[in-house]
Chain A
């Protein structure tokens, strides 16, 4: 089945440690996105990529980094500079990065601090 796979489902980070969240899609979508969700809040955009080897900062990019070396993969690194990383992280993709396209989501990674 086509879809978006996020791993791991749960992740724990120690102080001063960088961690990387995986996102893979086999939908042949050009655009991919990372969101952060905090309890009782909507999704906030961290980074997005409209095409391979290109990405842009979203609304809350500080403390995060991404890469887009392959069409199907868009990993997110939560760096030690992100002082409040505990959240539910969601990856999404859409056919293109042009507006008026629905985004389809994975089932998320829950990151916690040890």
Chain B
């Protein structure tokens, strides 16, 4: 069935290293993808988005890569810092004709080790 999922529930990285968080989706009709960061006890915070007509998009210290052939999305964080420790979610929209409905993955916990 259709799903938005993540390969790993937990990712541990050393401070200063680069982090790569992965996400898989199954619906080839998905045309918009978002990465969110959620800290404990808070709401998700928008990080970066990408549309299906793009393969790559860069922000400040973050890069999102989209591979439509294998339906794979990744978030790369450069020079990971302790403040990056959080749960990261990918989300997608599917044009079902009913508004801006996002479908979320289950999240990856990023732990930054000093």
Contact = CB atoms under 8 A, between A and B. Distances in A.
Counting chain B residues whose Cβ lies within 8 A of the other chain, the interface size class is 20 to 34
Contacts of B15: none
A97 B99 contact: yes
Interface residues of A, number: 29
A43 B87 CA distance: 12
Contact of A99 (B32, B91, B104): B32
A41 interface: yes
A1 to B, nearest CB: 14
A31 B98 CA distance: 12
A93 B89 CA distance: 17
B104 A42 contact: yes
B42 A102 contact: no
A103 B100 contact: yes
A90 B43 CA distance: 7
15 contacts: A6-B43, A31-B100, A40-B107, A42-B105, A43-B102, A45-B102, A50-B100, A97-B99, A99-B31, A99-B93, A99-B95, A100-B31, A102-B49, A103-B46, A105-B44
B101 to A, nearest CB: 6
Contacts of B81: none
B43 A106 contact: yes
A107 interface: yes
B51 interface: yes
Contacts of A96: 100
A56 B97 CA distance: 12
Given A56-B99, A100-B51, 14 more contacts: A6-B43, A41-B106, A43-B104, A48-B99, A92-B43, A96-B100, A98-B100, A99-B99, A100-B32, A101-B100, A102-B34, A102-B49, A103-B102, A108-B43
